[in-house]
Structure 1
Amino acid sequence: MEIALEYAKGNSLGSYNLLPDYLHKLAEENPGTLAEIETEYNENIGNRFKYMFLAMGASIMGFEHMRKVVVVDGTHLRGKYAGCLLTASAQDGNYQVFPLAIAIIDRENDNSLAKAYPEAKHCACILHLKRNIKTYSKDKNLGFLVAKAGRAYRLADFYKIFNEIKHVNASCAYYLIGIGFEHWAHSHFPGRRYNIMTSNIAESWNAVLREAREYPMLALVEFIRAKLMSWFSTRGSTISASLDNFTPKVMEILVVNFESSAGFEVKKIKHLEYEVRNKEECSFHVDISKRFCCCFEFQLLEIPCQHAIAAAIVAKVKVDSLVAEEYTQNAMVAAYVGSVAPVIHTDNIIELTGQLSELDMLPPSSRRPPGRPRKKRFLSRGEVRMKTPRRHTVCSRCKGCGHNRATCKTPIS
């Protein structure tokens, strides 16, 4: 398999030697692109590859129109040489993956991540947290409560659910306290994480790169470049054809909130400030001028909640004006206005990697362990892989009698 892969995608050794020239040309064809390689020198051997970083100019330019939440994740390479692929991604206004940058490192550790975003607020994935909770109890309701507490917008709602967690499993509650509420609970987070409560953005991007992680280094980077080129082209065309003011995903949310606001009682407090009572007679304070609702959904998502919509209708304020700019079609157009161009004269790149005999830059010293690389990831503790049901093959010689081929007794004509 490795031999066939090298015939198709190029030689793994030669791939590293061509990488510096490839990245240089890629940066020339795509203005604003950041591409760096770091090597380590050995007197007896020469330069060895150590780290690589790449951020396309189109991604850098498009990030200006994104909500400032970045999901960083790492996944192992499965080629001849060991390494780890780090990805940094955002989420566009239509809740789609927006890749920002990639890096190839020797391995994922504290040294490779300690200096990243020192002033940013860090938070945990709620799904990974639920998996860890299974070590404390097999009760599925416990994981549900943790996720519910993490997604709660109001402090009162959070503590109500968290007290229930303490009642169900005290050890789990102390574990969550040890993590720090600000790292996993929406209501305690000091910044804005919007709807991004999981690392699904990074997981989805890793799934796209699953097969490419077996490729030689140059072929892997070229696969990522081609994928970005396709996404920027396709999404840019789709957005231009839409007539709505906002992205399809946000329009769905607005429609649901608008329908839910029917029948609410709205009373004016003062200019653009209202008391809104829902059908359960619960009271909510809405200040349209500050884009505030005491349910906290409005200000944390920057999309009008059902209470804010009810107040806006009475105040004769356009609901469109209360939605964050990052969710608009104009922002989406600006985010994908850039393009990702290919490197010129790369048609014979596979042949070149196979013909190189004298290397200026050697691959990393660490090689993948012997044996066939794993196709499936290791399961987290407590995680169960679902079994795929066996296919029922219908016999063809009995003209669709419905019997399984192995048990069919119809004689062969």
Structure 2
Amino acid sequence: MIVRTTTLTHTCDITTRSQYGKKTTCKVIAEVLKSKYANGKLGSRAVGIPNIVLDELRVSISYMKAWHSKERAVLAARGSPEEGYKLLMVYLHLLKQTNPGTVWDVVSRRVGASKNKFKYLFFDLGACIHTAKFMRKVLIIDATTIKAKFLGCLLTASFQDGNFQIMPFGFAVVDSENEQAWTWFFKKLVSIVPDADDLVFVSDRHNSIYASLRKVYPLAKHGACSVHLYRNVKSRYSRQKGLAYLVAKAACAYTVGEFRQKFDEIERRSPLCANYLRGIGISHWSRVYFQGKQYNIMSSNIAESINASMAKALEFPIVSMVETIRMMLMRWFYCRRSKANKHLGPVTHEVEELLLKHLSDSAGLSVSPASADIYQVSNNHGISFTIDLDRKTCTCKVFETLGIPCSHALAAARVNGTPIPRLVEENYKSDLCRNTYSVVVMPVPDAVDHDIPEDMLNPNGVPPETNAGPGRPRKRRIPSNGEEQAIKRRKIRPSRCSRCYGTGHNRATCRNPIP
């Protein structure tokens, strides 16, 4: 049928035209809103959809119609949670085709004659695997809860690059944070990052992590997160004000003398806390006695930051969640590659800023040479430090711990004439940073445009067994020990003067106090 002429003037009467709003069904609104939830977008909440429909379609709708329209739009854009497990292997196959070097594995268990119930998923992009050889050998591991319809746990492993930026390395979706799941995750990880004496893991003190690392990574060193230790001490010994702060200072101390000073103060204030810390193992949580090299990484805050950046993605179906992670990495790689190519200095931008601070601190230091490479540097307080520029060491222990020259080493280098970039560890060089992000994270094509192998099709794939429990699903993270108290303190509102209530004044600044 071909329309040759048309009349755009409405001929309907006023009664018919007044019923136009009834034609705006949930299906029509969902088609309009579908693009707002695609490609990892969070989209609008149901409470804001009536205003969007009023602006775009010039129709007023109820909240319930907006809610049902949003559910339809989300389902059309992200797919259903059940269908995601059937399409997961197809998506991972296309992901590996466009991103060479990608490693993935899906574990299912047989249920009945033909059903395959999902159990575990591991994936690591080829671009992330490429970065491993340029990173400092410190892996931060953590787990976070998946808040989608089918519950589970997302395990992550991360590095920190030479510009102090987070580099996610490996992901796994498991049923829960237990020893069996962590062991499976580490067995997949060990094929990419082999066990070695100079490899270090940093995590919280979850028992399953300890047991799994002993099985899979017996040679690697394991350090406890200082932030979790701080919160545990703060929760256990809440009556001892400032005790947790002393523990944090002792954990981050660079020298034995500084550590002993803080630990003696801890023991003087609370012998029970000192025994608790000894029970954990001094070498397990303190920087000065740790057997490996942690650099500046004393906590698992890097993993916590990754969990926060993926908070909304954890509510998506599994394929949409993996795609959102891939898009996040694609964006990070592009931004960091552009930033590294623009930087012309010999060391990375963040290290350069730190060196400028150390250089400013070195201005008032006195330098006395002992040999061509060994110097004695004294500050205004009469404290002396010995620097060996050949071995790249200083008695303050900052130089060899971070791999970045301290203010004492820079003062000695100024007298010696040694170029500062020569003293910086290779991991902090700009050329290495450019090579780190030289690989491009590619998009995943549409499955209808490619021939998918038969073994990748999984029409009988079913979701895992999860018990969500009654009530509305929890979206907010449960705070850990010690963290909950800080959150409560932040929520306390300042006391209001009854005369100035509603004006924003508190009692301390009230100009009209009640006599």
TM over 0.5: yes
SS in 1 for 2:491: coil
| 2:270 aligned partner, one-letter code | N
Distance 1:70 1:347, change over 3 A: farther
Superposed CA offset, 1:25-76 (max 9, x none): 1111111110111111123562111111011110111121111111110001
1:376 aligned to 2:480? no
Question: Among 352, 360, 366, which residue is 1:265 paired with?
Answer: 366
Q: In 2, are the aligned partners of 1:78 and 1:368 still within 8 Å (CA)? A: no
Q: Report the CA distance between 1:273 and its aligned residue.
A: 0.8
Distance 1:371 1:171, change over 3 A: same
SS of residue paired to 1:371: coil
Give the Cα separation in 1 of the matches to 2:424 and 2:278.
34
Letter in 2 for 1:365: E
Paired AA for residue 47 in structure 1: N
Q: 2:297 aligns with which of 175, 196, 205?
A: 196
Q: Per the alignment, in what secondary structure is the counterpart of residue 364 of structure 2?
A: coil
- Aligned-partner SS, 2:293: coil
Match of 1:68 among 128, 134, 137: 137
What do the CA deviations read for 1:349-373 (whole angstroms, capped 9, x no partner)?
Answer: xxxxxxxxx9321111224223222
Partner in structure 2 of residue 148 of structure 1: 249
Q: Does 1:159 align with 2:260?
A: yes
Mapped pair 1:87 → 2:156: yes
> Among residues 314, 323, 344, which one is paired with 2:445 in the alignment?
344
**What amino acid does structure 1 have at the position aligned with 2:253?**
A
1:77 equivalent in alignment to 2:181: no
State whether structure 2 residue 403 is matched by structure 1 residue 334.
Answer: no
CA distance in 2, matches of 1:230, 1:286: 42
The one of 222, 225, 238 aligned to 2:326: 225
Find the counterpart in structure 2 of residue 118 from structure 1: 218
Residues 22, 209 of structure 1: CA spacing in aligned structure 2 closer, same or farther, 3 A cutoff? Answer: same
Q: Write out aligned runs for 1:12-411 (5 A).
A: 12-44=81-113, 46-113=115-182, 114=212, 115-134=215-234, 135-345=236-446, 359-382=459-482, 383-384=484-485, 385=487, 386-387=490-491
Q: Which has the higher helix share?
A: 2
> Does the CA-based 8 Å contact 1:136-1:171 persist in structure 2?
no
Matched to 1:387, the amino acid is K
SS of match in other structure, 1:123: strand
The unaligned stretches of length 5 or more in structure 2 are 1-66, 183-211, 450-457, 495-501, 505-515
Higher RCO structure, 1 or 2 (CA under 8 Å, sep 6+): 1
State the partner residue of 1:11.
Answer: 80
Which amino acid counterpart does residue 284 of structure 1 have in structure 2?
A: F
**4+ residue runs over 4 A deviation:** none
Q: Which residue of 2 aligns with 1:409?
A: none
Give the TM-score taking structure 2 as reference length.
0.72
C-alpha distance in structure 2 between counterparts of 1:124 and 1:347, whole Å? 47
- CA distance in 1 between counterparts of 2:473 and 2:431 reads 45
* Native 8 Å contact 1:258 1:309 kept in 2: yes
Q: 1:261 to 1:364 in 2, by over 3 A?
A: same
Conservation of the 8 A alpha-carbon contact between 2:398 and 2:406: yes
Structure 1's unaligned 5+ residue stretches are: 349-357, 391-401, 405-413
Residue identity matched to 1:248: H
Whether contact under 8 Å (1:274, 1:285) holds in the other structure is yes
State the shift of 1:169 in Å.
Answer: 1.0
Paired residue secondary structure (2:259): helix
Shift of 1:6: 2.7
* 275-284 vs 44-53, greater mean Cα deviation: 44-53
Equivalent position SS for 2:151: coil
Say if 2:114 and 2:460, in contact at 8 Å, map to a contact too: no
- SS of the equivalent of 2:276 reads helix
Task: Kindly provide the amino acid, as one letter, of the partner of residue 212 in structure 1.
Answer: A
Partner of residue 512, structure 2: none
Residue identity matched to 2:276: Y
Contact 1:80 1:367 in 2 (8 A): no
Q: State the TM-score, normalized to the length of structure 1.
A: 0.89
Summarize deviations over 1:306-342 as a string: whole Å, max 9, x none. 1111111111111110001111111110110011111
| Contact 1:58-1:339 within 8 A present in 2 as well | yes
* Identity across matched positions, percent: 41
Cα contact 1:74–1:86 (8 A) shared by 2: yes
Specify the SS of the correspondent of 1:40: strand
Q: Distance in 2 between matches of 1:336 and 1:327?
A: 14
Letter in 1 for 2:352: M
**Contact preservation (8 Å) 2:121, 2:174:** yes
SS of the residue 1:70 aligns to:
strand
Give the Cα separation in 2 of the matches to 1:61 and 1:199.
Answer: 23
Aligned residue for 1:261, secondary structure, equals: helix
Q: CA RMSD in A?
A: 2.1
What does the per-residue CA deviation read over 1:125-158, in whole Å, with 9 as the maximum and x for residues that have no partner? 1111111002123334111111110111111211
Deviations 1:178-206 (A, max 9, x none): 11112211101111111111111101100
Q: CA deviation at 1:388?
A: 7.9
CA distance in 2, matches of 1:45, 1:26: 26
Q: Kindly indicate whether the alpha-carbon contact (under 8 Å) linking 1:94 and 1:250 is maintained by their aligned counterparts in 2.
A: yes
Return the alpha-carbon distance in structure 1 between the equivalents of residues 81 and 493 of structure 2.
38
